[in-house]
Structure 1
Amino acid sequence: MATAGKVIKCKAAVAWALNKPLVIEEIEVAPPQANEVRIKIVTTGVCHTDLYHLFEGVNKDDFPIVLGHEGAGIVESVGPGVTEFQPGDKVIPLPFPQCGKCRFCKSPKTNQCADAWNTDSMKSSEDSRFTCKGKKVLQFFGTSTFSQYTVMNQMAVAKIDPAAPLDKVFLLGCGICTGYGAAVNTAKVEPGSTCAVFGLGAVGLAAVMGCKAAGAKRIIAVDIKPEKFVKAKVFGATDFVNPKDHNKPISEVLTDMTNGGVDYSLECIGNVEVMRSALESCVKGWGVAVIVGFTNKDDFAARPFQLIAGRTWKGSLLGGYKMKTGVPEMVKAYLNGKIKLDEFITHNMTLAQINDAIQLLEHGKCIRTALSVSPP
């Protein structure tokens, strides 16, 4: 492409400070260096992890920054040493890399990668290719999809089917894989089982879909907003419980409903009290509770007997998928009609409307908003 090897000026939504609206700015995006890929972002979503950084933040000095980690785009150019990608490839940026060489990548037991921790990819990278008004702009999760162009290490990019619609499959960069995989990969839901899913945002609905795909007989959707139950039914929920409708703990409600507790529970909120409720909703002897929702603010706790009695408490990161290989497989599953994506998108907006999209998500008024960043 004509822009290869040159600095690109483009639009991006920049967060200049904690708890402040994003500002659409013109930024400069440097060419990719060795083993890097520059991507034209076509569509991005807004995820609760973006909101967590913007409104709660682990470091008030972690600004300015371009957020966003759930997107899809087209390779614009590649740096030296890149052989897997070429300009024009459709790709999904990955918030968690897969180097393919470390102890973790070689193990079928995990989707983690040593490079993710060694390079602080879970934090904001100061080694970004962004500048704005003469100031270095940080990169979020190594992705930063709230920009028309971004530069990423090739080990954190997944090449996908050329037929994939980027305005739909962007969802597979985070939320849908996180919830769906928590059910099929982490919990390993079995046919004929009973499940409970706590929280019916995009991740929770994807967990419902995963439980359904795994053959669960009964899927109990738990949320304090009853209007979400209609959408949960679309993804396979069979029962609906609003904790506010009961005068006893939700774990007792579910235990009564299921003759002793559910086989599997998935907490998709990021609330430590709900995490404990999800564990205590599981049947003694073999119940499996999976922590899916993200938080890093509070400790969680339970009585030891809850585990001694035979329950298992597990955590799930990005649904247990080795993302570089797992995301393309999920794209194929969508193209083959095996998973739903369109039904998660409740709003379509442009990058210029990103603050409106953030408000919708913060107040629970949407499942996912598809933000058009650049024309394909």
Structure 2
Amino acid sequence: MSTTEGQVIKCKAAVAWEAGKPLVIEEVEVAPPQAMEVRVKILFTSLCHTDVYFWEAKGQTPVFPRIFGHEAAGIVESVGEGVTELKPGDHVLPVFTGECKECRHCKSEESNMCDLLRINTERGVMLNDGKSRFSINGKPIYHFVGTSTFSEYTVIHVGCVAKINPKAPLDKVCVLSCGISTGLGATLNVAKPGKGSTVAIFGLGAVGLAAAEGARIAGASRIIGIDLNPNRFEEAKKFGVTEFLNPKDYDKPIQQVIAGMTDGGVDRSVECTGNFNAMISAFECVHDGWGVAVLVGVPSRDDAFKTHPMNVLNERTLKGTFFGNFKPRTDLPSVVEMYMNKELEVEKFITHEVTFSEINKAFDLMLSGAGLRCIIRMDG
């Protein structure tokens, strides 16, 4: 790898030239990393709903042409000035949010919302100089959430790269760099259900099933899955879900149904849809006195929800979480170790695999609601 250090690398990347149009495999030039940056050879990446959301550019400022992708795994090719924690050859997971280790958030044990490297979906350039590291014939191609993993090589701020066990299979643990860790951490780090507790999971996509997996690991006795798509219920059994509810099957609010079947409410709930009605239900379905509801799903810009203040005064707790409260550099390696120690099953989240040249198939699968995670092999 050292032969390319300090040089511009020409490689393949899947470029989104405009919103909602198929990605095009192009030859791009990837500049060397500057201060506090690393250049990573991406070996495996997967498609997350966030990529699709910003590719469609509905309700946000469109930034194109752009290289999407943020769930991935790879190997460090070279490092920029000032990088001491990483070296060429290290196995890493790029992460859409970062950990500078210097700001108040990073120094706090209670937060992972780094001031410097918190997710910024509209920034298409590097922090160091406000420029892109990608170009085609001198024309800049913009970055996405600081990672842009739909490229054989990418440049990332060192604070957004987690060094992991080199023995971990990259084609499996790549999915831990976003959605799976988000759902898992929402349950284990924030909801913190006790052994034998009851947990409701709203939304049984990949993040919700990861939240259910967290409840299973924690030893919950009942894990109630709530989703509008009945086809997801059979799959959810693999993740520990014991009961299923479809709100469309009832003529009263689902929180009342849950309260009726759990003697007043569940101990914990985790909301993974981003729908504000589901957020209300998730909060109001927890038991008074000790119930905790955790919001994971990202709402639309103008959403708001209301609940009666007595729901709070009666000792229900509402919490939010970002990336499952994991600090990327500090905590993600331990999530990989959970997989290596067979405490966490990752394979059941991976339902499809395509080659890099077939990347648009991954978009088709997600848009159709088929499967959970599609692995994209960069060598094909």
TM-score calculated relative to the size of structure 2: 0.95
1:39-92: CA deviation from partner (whole Å, max 9, x where unpaired): 000111111111111113454441111111110001111112222111111100
Verify: 1:366 aligned to 2:355, yes or no.
no
**Alpha carbons 2:99, 2:329 under 8 Å: kept:** yes
Per the alignment, residue 87 of structure 1 pairs with: 88
Per the alignment, residue 312 of structure 1 pairs with: 317
Alignment RMSD, CA only?
1.5
| Structure 2 CA distance for aligned equivalents of residues 59 and 223 of structure 1 | 26
**Alpha carbons 1:49, 1:294 under 8 Å: kept:** no
Per the alignment, residue 76 of structure 2 pairs with: 75
1:196-225: CA deviation from partner (whole Å, max 9, x where unpaired): 001111101100000111121110011122
Per the alignment, residue 147 of structure 1 pairs with: 151
**Alpha carbons 1:40, 1:374 under 8 Å: kept:** no
| Structure 1 CA distance for aligned equivalents of residues 300 and 65 of structure 2 | 21
**Alpha carbons 1:196, 1:221 under 8 Å: kept:** yes
Per the alignment, residue 19 of structure 2 pairs with: 18
Give the one of 327, 338, 347 matched to 2:343: 338
Equivalent positions of 1:1-376 (< 5 A) are 1-117=2-118, 121-126=120-125, 127-303=131-307, 304-374=309-379
- AA aligned opposite 2:378: V
Q: How much does 1:307 deviate?
A: 1.8
**Count of aligned pairs:** 373
**Alpha carbons 1:266, 1:278 under 8 Å: kept:** yes
- AA aligned opposite 1:218: R
| Structure 2 CA distance for aligned equivalents of residues 168 and 199 of structure 1 | 23
Gaps of 5+ in 1: none
- AA aligned opposite 2:195: P
Q: How much does 1:235 deviate?
A: 1.3
- AA aligned opposite 1:8: I
- AA aligned opposite 2:232: K
- AA aligned opposite 1:13: A
| Structure 2 CA distance for aligned equivalents of residues 191 and 108 of structure 1 | 24
Give every structure 1 segment of 4 or more consecutive aligned residues whose post-TM-superposition deviation is greater than 6 Å.
none
| Structure 1 CA distance for aligned equivalents of residues 145 and 261 of structure 2 | 41
- AA aligned opposite 1:25: E
Per the alignment, residue 128 of structure 2 pairs with: none
Q: Secondary structure at the match of 1:340?
A: coil
| Structure 2 CA distance for aligned equivalents of residues 374 and 100 of structure 1 | 34
| Structure 2 CA distance for aligned equivalents of residues 221 and 32 of structure 1 | 44
| Structure 2 CA distance for aligned equivalents of residues 273 and 244 of structure 1 | 13
| Structure 2 CA distance for aligned equivalents of residues 60 and 180 of structure 1 | 30
Q: Percent identity?
A: 51
| Structure 1 CA distance for aligned equivalents of residues 134 and 58 of structure 2 | 20
| Structure 1 CA distance for aligned equivalents of residues 255 and 286 of structure 2 | 8
Gaps of 5+ in 2: 126-130
**Alpha carbons 1:272, 1:298 under 8 Å: kept:** no
**Alpha carbons 2:63, 2:122 under 8 Å: kept:** no
Q: Cα 1:282–1:18, aligned 2, differ >3 Å: closer, same or farther? A: same
1:108-133: CA deviation from partner (whole Å, max 9, x where unpaired): 1111111125xx74433323201124
When structure 1 is superposed on structure 2, of 231-240 and 300-309 the one drifting more is 300-309
**Alpha carbons 1:17, 1:60 under 8 Å: kept:** no
1:168-188: CA deviation from partner (whole Å, max 9, x where unpaired): 000110011100000010111
| Structure 1 CA distance for aligned equivalents of residues 304 and 215 of structure 2 | 25
**Alpha carbons 2:280, 2:305 under 8 Å: kept:** yes
- AA aligned opposite 2:237: K
| Structure 2 CA distance for aligned equivalents of residues 61 and 290 of structure 1 | 30
Q: Cα 1:13–1:218, aligned 2, differ >3 Å: closer, same or farther? A: same
| Structure 2 CA distance for aligned equivalents of residues 322 and 122 of structure 1 | 19
| Structure 2 CA distance for aligned equivalents of residues 47 and 258 of structure 1 | 33
**Alpha carbons 2:71, 2:176 under 8 Å: kept:** yes
Q: How much does 1:37 deviate?
A: 0.6
| Structure 2 CA distance for aligned equivalents of residues 193 and 59 of structure 1 | 39
TM-score calculated relative to the size of structure 1: 0.95
